[in-house]
Structure formats: C-alpha cells, structure tokens
Amino acid sequence: MSPQRLLAAVEKFLELFKDAWGLEWMIPKFHWLLHFHKMLERLGFLLNCFCLERKHRGPKRYANEITNISSGTSQSLLMEVTSHHLGQLSNPDAFSFDVGLVGGRRAPLKTKQVLTAELQLGADAADSLKYAVESRFSPVATCHKGDVVILKDPSGALVAGKVQLHCSVLGLPLSLINSYTVHKREPCGYSIWTPSEENHFIETHEILETVVFSELPNGKVAILLPLEFR
C-alpha cells in the first residue's frame, strides 16, 4: 500500500466514524492514524508501536490531577514521572526476568489452607507458599489471573485454559489452570473451546503464550491462536 492510499483510508475511516458516532466519541488515539503514512513513506514499512501505548498510564496518573496550568506544570509532571520511575527501579526485582511470581506475597490463611490441601504439602512447603495475580512464564512475557493461555499436554497436543491463580512452593512457580476442551479449530487460527470443571496445577514455565479470547453467550470460548501455533 502506498502512503497516499493509507492516508486516504485513514481519512475515510475518521469521516465515517464521525458520521456514525459523532465527534464526542473520537479519542486522542485516533490522531496517531494520521501519522502512519509519514512513517510508511520514510521507512517503507510500519513499526508496531502499540506495545508501548500502555506507557501513557504513568504520566496520566499525575497529569490528570493537575488543575492549575502554569509555566511550571510540565516541569512538575516530569519530576513526578521521573520519581515514579526511580522508585520502580529501586525494586530489587526490577530487572529480574526469571520465571516466577511478579510481586509475590505470603498467601492468606484461607488460600494457604486450600493450596496446602490441594497440593498435599508438608509443613515446610506450606510455610513457603506465596501467591500473586501475575507471573512471568518466560524471560519476555507474563500472564495474569483471568488470562487464557495455551500449553501442550503430555502427548504434545496444544491445549488451552484460563489462569485461576499463580503461586510458588519452595520457590517453584506453579499456575492453576481451568482446562478447556477444543470444540472446533479453523486453519486461520480461530478456534472454539468448551470450559470444563477440571482445574489442575502446572509449572508456570509450561505456558506457551497468552491468547486473544472472547467468552461467547453459549458458554464457549473463542480463541485466536498466535500465528506460530496455527
């Protein structure tokens, strides 16, 4: 696609969106689209920058509280954001990319009792229990409670499930997964799965990837498999 054609498509989309929903529903993110054709013209391809889009949350956390705009506002905001980043960097685990809990903490008594019984832990193992809503499953990726993930069963077949919790026992990262049964798979990567009542623990490193999913009205779950797993 030529840069001119891309710009024309973006402008057409914005016009149609405005006609359908009105200007009040247009968001600042739409402004990015008007710059894509310049990047395409300069580089010959489009860089995927949306993975950094979440970074706006840090500055907005402090900018949203500013109501008195003055000549020192930008400097004040920069100081707040810099202090926030320095605070994050002071965390001993800031540059840890090992598989394991992110911000793990001691399990509450009720959670500890359930996990101890489920995993049949001895006293020392039970005392070592930690849990978290997020865990790193590879040096470059993490997943949260509620995410749908894919992994392989003992036979090597690709399976899917929803993360119920992350924990660690004697330093070993574990994840509790609600298993899905595949109902239909399309060559394009679209698949339909049925949640089961079975939950089982896996070692967290067995998770291959998180996936885009949608819970359907009939109780099934639609999953879009990453390209490398289709």
What's the rounded Cα separation, in Å, for the pair 124 and 128? 6
Q: With contact defined as beta carbons under 8 Å apart, do 95 and 65 qualify?
A: no
For residue 179, what are its two tokens?
Answer: 């298993």
Q: Where along the chain do its domains lie?
A: 3-89, 100-229
pLDDT (mean) for 128-150: 94
Per-residue pLDDT at 46: 83
Please give the radius of gyration of the chain, using alpha carbons only, rounded to the nearest integer. 23
> Mind listing the pLDDT tens digit for each residue in 107-126?
888 888 989 998 999 989 99
CA distances from 198 to 108, 160, 183 (A): 24, 12, 16
> What is the pLDDT confidence band of residue 21, given thresholds at 50, 70 and 90?
very high
Per-residue pLDDT at 93: 80
pLDDT (mean) for 83-106: 89
Per-residue pLDDT at 53: 67
Per-residue pLDDT at 7: 94
> Mind listing the pLDDT tens digit for each residue in 155-176?
999 999 999 999 999 999 999 9
pLDDT (mean) for 63-75: 82
Per-residue pLDDT at 14: 94
Per-residue pLDDT at 203: 96
Is the pLDDT score of 136 beyond 80?
yes
| Domain 100-229: assigned CATH number | 2.30.30.490
What's the rounded Cα separation, in Å, for the pair 122 and 142? 29
